[in-house]
Every structure is written in structure tokens, then in C-alpha cells.
Amino acid sequence: MTNKWTHTPPVPMTPLRGKAEIQIARAPPSTIPARSTEETLYELQVQQIELEIQNEQLRSTQIELEKSRDRYRDLYESSPVGYLTLNAVGQITEINPAGATMLGLERANLINCKPDAFIAYPESENWQRHFVSALTQECAPSFELTFHRGDRSTCDVLLESRRTADVNGKAALSVTLTDITAQRKEEEKMRQSESRYRSLFEHGHTVMLLIHPESGAIVDANSTACDYYGWTRTELLNLTISQINTLPADAVRREMHQAMTTQKNIFSSSIVWLMVQSVMSNQPVGRFPSMGRNCSTRSFTT
């Protein structure tokens, strides 16, 4: 019967193990504490458990980071705000669906394109100045511009840019686009409405004053009021209604309070005579501003 000696299989030599053994060989004997086999085994077991705990913590952290990344990705993809990233030469390297909608093309067709292609002169010059400025400072002032899309429609946006860096550390620009098309349309409607009523106010043949509800100061006066009172518009705007009214100040205040707190609407079936005045103005065809006054108490002859 042949006796067989049991040997521990040799540990594979790796570059890291080789470096460790060299350092141990070079170390002075006094720096290598003598330990029993049991102590060494115990220390190795403790270190192994520590590494396992660290690995578990790293895995948990990685899972949380992936969840957080997915949440931000969902926000990026579903946000109504447009987001795009530009490289140092102004090419689109990344864009979300909302941004692609504002530019009117598929996302894949926008990569490596420049926003310049969608901006008409003279706004294109403003965009170029903004781009250069944003690359050289932390945050450039926001501004509004209009994108001209391939289907000939337009999209008004509020644009904000922030300097950043790409994955390679090169300069890049993070751009936020907020669609303000509906807001601009409402503002245009307000301007047109203001223009219509301003025309009616200024050209009407009835004395009209705008009075501050608390102080009674005259805020505005039309030309007919100026002719009637014998004051220039500038002079009237430096007066209060009490100064040009023959009623006592208390009576004027009561009249103003009544005008602000009551409504005088007629819902009966009686006939009401109105004096209607119209003025010429730059309004759409078929429209002109008019004003009516109740004159039912007057006597009319036929």
C-alpha cells in the first residue's frame, strides 16, 4: 500500500499577489507579527465577511442608483418641457420627445442637426450670440424665439441654457425649451382688444374719463373730455374727479361707490332707446367699435 501525502493546492500566482509577496519579502522581520494559524484563519474569515457586506452595500447602492436613473429618465421622456443637449459646435446630441415636437421632426432625424436650421433671421443672430455667451459663462439670460418647422407651422418658445460637460469632459450646453405659443396668442388677442377699445375711447364723441376707484384721480381722458372741460390731457391727469365736478366731494364718493357695487341691467320686455356712436378705426373688415347710451328719457318726434 502506497502512502500518499496530502498537499494544499498551490495558490494561482497573479500580478497583484506577486506584488504583495515582494513587499512581504522586503519588509523587516519586526514588522511582520507572528500569528498562529487559528488567528490568521479568523482574520481571513472576518475580512471575507467584511468584503461580502461591502459588496451587498454596493449592490444595494447600484440598485437605488438605477431606480433613480429610471425615474429621471421617465421624467425626461414624458416632460412637456423640451430638453436638448448641444456640443461645442452647436449640434444636437440628445433631445427628448417634447423638444422634438417643438422642432417638428423625429428625434432620430434631429441628432447632429443645429437649432439654427429652425430659426429665421433676425432671431438667428440673437441665437448665435446666446449660444456663444452660454458656452463662456455659467448661465446665460433666457430669451424668446420662434422655431419654423418643416410643415410651415411655428412654435414660440422660452429658451434657457446652462453650460455643462459631456461624458468625455468636453464643453456642452444643456437647453430648456418652454412652449409659449398659446401665451403669445393670448397676448396678441389682448393687444388687439386693447387697440379696439383704445380707439373707441380716444375717438368717441362722448366725454370719457378713467377714474382711480380709491383716490378719485383721473387716470385717462379722451379728447372730447379735454374739449368739454377746457383742460389739456396732461392737466386733467394731474387732477381728481372732485376738482372738476360741481358735486360735493362726499356726493362724488357716493356716486363712485354706487358705480362699483351695483349693476343696472334691464331684463324686462320694455323698449329701450339707445344712442349708438361708431368711429372709424383699423379693425378687421366688418367690425368697427361702437358705444351705446340709454336715452329712453328723451323726447323723440317722428
The CATH number of whichever domain residue 108 belongs to comes to 3.30.450.20
Q: Which of 179, 214, 229 is the last residue of a domain?
A: 179
> What pLDDT score was predicted for residue 267?
46
> What pLDDT score was predicted for residue 17?
65
Q: Which of 134, 153, 179 is the last residue of a domain?
A: 179
Examine residue 32 and state whether it is found in any structural domain, yes or no: no
Q: How many percent of the chain have pLDDT more than 70? A: 75
Same domain, 146 and 122: yes
Same domain, 282 and 267: yes
Residue 210's domain comprises 186-294
E strand residue ranges, the chain? 82-87, 92-95, 143-148, 154-165, 171-179, 209-211, 218-221, 274-278, 290-294
Same domain, 288 and 198: yes
Higher pLDDT, 137 or 262: 137
Distance CA 241, CA 222 (A): 14
Q: How many domains does the chain contain in total?
A: 3
Q: Which of 179, 201, 224 is the last residue of a domain?
A: 179
Q: Report residue 274's pLDDT band, with 50, 70 and 90 as the boundaries.
A: very low
Examine residue 43 and state whether it is found in any structural domain, yes or no: no
Same domain, 224 and 267: yes
Same domain, 137 and 218: no
220-262 confidence digits (pLDDT tens): 988 988 988 898 999 999 998 888 877 787 877 777 777 767 6
Contact 228, 207 (CB under 8 A): yes
Quick one: average pLDDT of 36-60? 84
**For all residues of the chain together, what is the average pLDDT?**
80
Examine residue 223 and state whether it is found in any structural domain, yes or no: yes
Which single residue is written with the C-alpha cell 379696439?
A: 196
